[in-house]
Amino acid sequence: MMKAGGTWNKIKHVKRAGENWAGVDCFRNMIRSKVGYESVALVIILSAIVGTNNLEVGKQIHGAALGVKGFS
């Protein structure tokens, strides 16, 4: 699994700009590409998901979070 590096910063900046769906899409691409992430990054993406008002996407990310140590 690759390290996330600057990609999480991209999601954070996209979220700050109000582009919540762009942040969600970036996160999905990272998961597909097997880029690693830390629990703090989930806080950022969950915050972006709140801005989309989409419960199903929130459930998907929650499922991903269950695989992260400290979230189960």
Report the domain count for the chain.
1
Residue 24 within a domain: yes
28 Cβ contact list (under 8 Å, min separation 6): none
Residue 42 within a domain: yes
Residue 47 within a domain: yes
Structural domain for 49, as ranges: 7-65
Residue 51 within a domain: yes
Residue 1 within a domain: no
pLDDT for the residue numbered 2? 45
Each residue's pLDDT tens digit, 17-55 = 678 888 888 888 887 787 777 777 778 888 888 888 889
Q: Give the global pTM.
A: 0.67
Residue 33 within a domain: yes
Question: Which residue, 48, 46, 2, 44, is CA-closest to 22?
Answer: 48
- Dist CA 53 CA 48 (whole Å): 9
